């Protein structure tokens, strides 16, 4: 039996609705899957705090939470991330296991966890890009990196290169969290993930300065120690020469007395006596330099120990209490 005109219109409208729903479902498949995954998820307070402190947008938070991030102590983190004994790792991400962040309790290193969380979230975000999106962002990242003069960042990237890492993937995380000024296009891109990317970079600069300031201070103190050491060596050489000359003159004066040549003895004594205060002054100056050297060395070693403590706080490999710490 033929359908009425109204029935045909209803049938066509219904088909269009189903097609539209199907199309939306296809194009929004990832969003639907994300919603389904997170429908009963509540992040731990510390995890949510990291997301807020690193100014993750809703998109950034969604990607972060989808990977069930965990903040772990060294033992748990070591087992979760499975890295080499001599490797410094602060966080890791894999599609299967999610995101892990090393817990860093040292207040001098405030900011490490926030930057690490942002860094690993960007790795997860990179994985979600389409092939076309990756080609586009890879070109932008590599073009920018080729002009970058930041020695610290370039050193990190070269280390990743030597270890066979995916460089553009690492650039995606490092440039986004550690470089203050990017191109307008890159800033717009990262704005999808961070409401205030500069705050993340500020965290990076904050904790990196703890290392840089101590490294520079130790270098300055080492320079002072070297200068004092050279002066002390020169003074000691001069003192030895003066001592030999004074001793020789003393022997000569004694000889004059023994031979009864009192006139020659008396004539030479004033010049001899004038040499003694200058000698003693140089001795005092050298002793003061040695005392200053010890003070600077104590200060230098204190700062070096602080730097070692900071390095140890970020060393996520499992060490016993007796394990040596590498000198600065």
User: Can you give the residue ranges of every domain in the chain?
Assistant: 42-195, 209-314
238-243, long-range: CB < 8 A, 24+ apart:
238/282, 239/279, 239/282, 239/283, 239/286, 242/275, 242/278, 242/279, 242/282, 243/279
pLDDT, tens digit, 9 for 90 and up, residues 133-174:
999 999 999 999 999 999 999 999 998 898 888 999 999 999
Tell me which residue has tokens 């731990």: 44
- Predicted local distance difference test score (pLDDT) of residue 27: 47
Question: Angle at CA 86, nearest 5°, toward 80 and 89?
Answer: 45
Q: Which of 301, 312, 287 is nearest to 222 (CA)?
A: 301
- Predicted local distance difference test score (pLDDT) of residue 222: 97
Rounded CA-CA distance 146/138 in Å is 12
* 8 A C-beta contact, residue 122 and residue 173: yes
pLDDT at 10 over 70: no
Tokens at residue 73, please? 């102590």
CATH class of 209-314: mainly alpha
Q: What DSSP designation does 213 have?
A: H
pLDDT, tens digit, 9 for 90 and up, residues 180-216:
999 999 999 999 999 999 999 999 999 999 999 999 9
* 8 A C-beta contact, residue 141 and residue 171: yes
pLDDT at 25 over 90: no
List residues bridging with 71 in a β-sheet. Answer: 101
pLDDT at 319 over 80: no
pLDDT, tens digit, 9 for 90 and up, residues 235-252:
999 999 999 999 999 999
Q: Quick one: average pLDDT of 279-305?
A: 96
Tokens at residue 274, please? 């004038």
- Predicted local distance difference test score (pLDDT) of residue 267: 94
Rounded CA-CA distance 224/295 in Å is 11
Q: Quick one: average pLDDT of 91-102?
A: 93
- Predicted local distance difference test score (pLDDT) of residue 282: 96
Mean of all residue pLDDT scores within the chain:
87
pTM over 0.75: yes
* 8 A C-beta contact, residue 110 and residue 206: yes
């Amino acid at each position: 039996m033929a359908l009425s005109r109204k029935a045909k219109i209803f049938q066509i409208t219904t088909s269009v609705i189903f097609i539209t729903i199907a199309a939306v479902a296809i194009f929004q498949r990832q969003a639907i899957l994300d919603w389904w995954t997170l429908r009963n998820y509540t992040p731990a307070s510390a995890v949510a705090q990291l997301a807020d402190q690193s100014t993750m947008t809703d998109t950034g938070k969604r990607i972060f939470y989808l990977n069930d991030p965990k903040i772990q102590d060294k033992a748990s983190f070591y087992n979760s991330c499975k890295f080499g004994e001599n490797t410094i790792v602060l966080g890791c991400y894999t599609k299967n296991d999610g995101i892990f962040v090393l817990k860093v309790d040292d207040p001098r290193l405030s900011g490490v966890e926030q930057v690490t969380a942002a860094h690993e979230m960007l790795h997860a975000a990179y994985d979600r890009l389409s092939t076309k999106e990756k080609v586009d962002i890879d070109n932008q990242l590599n073009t920018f990196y080729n002009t970058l003069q930041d020695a610290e960042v370039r050193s990190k990237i070269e280390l990743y290169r030597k270890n066979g890492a995916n460089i553009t993937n690492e650039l995606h995380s490092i440039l986004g969290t550690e470089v203050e000024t990017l191109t307008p296009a890159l800033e717009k891109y990262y704005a999808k993930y961070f409401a205030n990317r500069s705050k993340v970079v500020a965290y990076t600069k904050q904790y990196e300065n703890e290392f840089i300031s101590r490294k520079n201070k130790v270098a300055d103190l080492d320079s002072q120690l070297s200068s004092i050491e050279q002066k002390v060596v020169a003074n000691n050489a001069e003192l030895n020469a003066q001592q030999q000359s004074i001793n020789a003159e003393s022997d000569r004066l004694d000889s004059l007395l023994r031979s009864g040549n009192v006139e020659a003895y008396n004539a030479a004594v004033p010049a001899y006596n004038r040499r003694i205060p200058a000698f003693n002054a140089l001795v005092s100056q050298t002793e003061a330099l040695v005392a200053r050297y010890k003070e600077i060395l104590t200060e230098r070693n204190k700062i070096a120990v602080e730097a070692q403590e900071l390095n140890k706080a970020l060393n996520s490999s499992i060490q016993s209490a007796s394990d040596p710490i590498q000198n600065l």
